Amino acid sequence: MNDKLNELKKLTTEIYDLRMCNALLEWDQQVNMPAAGSAARAAQMSLLSRSAHELATSDRMGQLLEDLKPLYVELPPDSDDYCLLRNVYRDYERERKVPVEYVSEFTQTTGEAFAAWDRAKAENDFASFKPLLGKIFDMRRQYAGFFAPYDHIYDPLLDDFEPGMKTADVLAVFKTLRDEQVKLLHDIGVRPQVDDSCLNCHCGDEGQWALCREAVKLIGYDLNRGRIDKAEHPFTTNFCRDDVRITTHIYEDNVMSAVFSSLHEGGHAIYEQGVAKELDRIPIGTGASLAIHESQSRLWENLVGRSLEFLGCFYPRIQQQFPRRFGSVPLNDFYRAVNRVEPSLIRVEADEATYNLHIMLRMELEIAMLEQKITVDDLPEIWREKMHEYLGVTPMNDTQGVLQDVHWAGGMIGYFPTYALGNLISAQVWEKAAEDLPELNAQIARGELTPLREWLTEKLYRHGAKYYPSELVRMITGGGIDPRPYLNYLNRKYRAIYA
């Protein structure tokens, strides 16, 4: 039986490596590749996706899983081998439902769509991107059909990013969040606005770049096992636990944008670098889900990065880098400025109190598109209407609106809800960390981030995808996803900032 298990591990490693080669091509596409190479790159990525899918759904894989069923029953449920088999069984059953021709065509389409989106965003030209976007939504609707019957057409897509999560569960959580956050925004809105004029300044690319590297090194991102580059839309990718790469985007008139996006992506990267070595290059050797991943990026970006304690140790580095801009600005003024609450157009720049509303808007549009209640032609105008309804702001153009995110170009429909779910989990995990590390705030104020990172590695990172997301949340917090800790955090923090 051990021979069969070793053969399965060898096969899953081959599949993993094929997919990581594809990820490397995608990283290069967004960081280095000349625009003219997009068509060939889409074909190369399509070939690799097809090859990985054929291996993952092969008769060889099916026979191995059948032969290993007796072992699966005998193994301890918390063993690496049991969790590996459970993961592979699940993926095999799902992937067998998806024709290889679909996988190949979808990868080709999204490969072409990235270049079209990148160009359309730069030129504010939604019309040029519309045909490919329409095809992507059509294909995702077709994809959902492979898993019928379902409770909701959105369920199969959501399940790709958040295993076990149902659309109805997310919408119920969002209802609680929306009501509470709208109330908080109303209460903030009647208070004097925070002055953030100190942030409205020009800060050079080189200085910002140095700060980004310092910030991610401070929280523990190992640059010997990673690198940081520039991209239109910041992202993290990993090819193994010892090659985890992040990107950021620098705006010379917004110094903290790059720092916070680097902390966000650094949080993703620390998670991947913290996976146990024995899980490397097998299906459970990566993050458990997108919501769990986002909980870590949001934890390091917001609960750590935007805290008074972290800024207390990091702000002097900003002052040293840009003394004329920040040398005379007190720490408390800077802290309040970077935590100013103001409805805005761009999701990745949104403050904590309004961020989830951006996510709800996107999820509603995705569902409406899948249910064919609206068409791709409707998206720009409905986006503007919903931005005005939810946040009281209206995009002046499609670059600020429907074209701002890369996710739809990548076919990642069903991804957005994980950002908001990650916010909730981040606060729940933070509560437990604060219980176990009574000196946590003092340690952060001294720039000592190792105790927190080691606690997270022990409780979360090392497990990779051994456990389902709901199991991990329960193991760490003792319960399921709960919006209350996050809402308590928001109220406590922002009612203090706005007196």
The residues annotated with a catalytic role in the active site are 265
Instruction: Show the tokens assigned to 191.
Output: 């208070």
Q: Please state the φ and ψ torsions of residue 228, each to the nearest 5 degrees.
A: -125, 130
Q: Please check whether residue 166 is in contact with residue 152, taking contact to mean a CB–CB distance below 8 angstroms.
A: yes
> What does the angle CA 383 – CA 387 – CA 393 come to, to the nearest 5 degrees?
130
Between CA 468 and CA 458 the distance in angstroms is 17
Please tell me whether residue 54 adopts helix, strand or coil conformation: helix
Q: Tell me how far apart the terminal alpha carbons of the chain are, to the nearest angstrom.
A: 65
- For 200, counting Cβ atoms within 10 Å of its Cβ (0-12 exposed, 13-18 middle, 19+ buried), the class is exposed
Parallel, antiparallel or unpaired: strands 243-248 and 236-240: antiparallel
User: Around Cβ 121, how many Cβ atoms within 10 Å?
Assistant: 22
Written as one string, the DSSP assignment of 248-267 is E--BTTBHHHHHHHHHHHHH
User: Around Cβ 366, how many Cβ atoms within 10 Å?
Assistant: 23
User: Around Cβ 242, how many Cβ atoms within 10 Å?
Assistant: 14
Between CA 240 and CA 236 the distance in angstroms is 12
Between CA 337 and CA 438 the distance in angstroms is 28
User: Residue 426 contacts by C-beta under 8 Å, 6 or more apart in sequence?
Assistant: 294, 295, 296, 298, 299, 302, 303, 486
Closest CA to 289 of 415, 187, 458: 415
Instruction: Show the tokens assigned to 10.
Output: 């060898």
User: Residue 275 contacts by C-beta under 8 Å, 6 or more apart in sequence?
Assistant: 241, 285, 286, 287, 461, 462, 463, 464
Instruction: Show the tokens assigned to 229.
Output: 């580059």
Q: Please check whether residue 216 is in contact with residue 228, taking contact to mean a CB–CB distance below 8 angstroms.
A: yes
Between CA 384 and CA 292 the distance in angstroms is 30
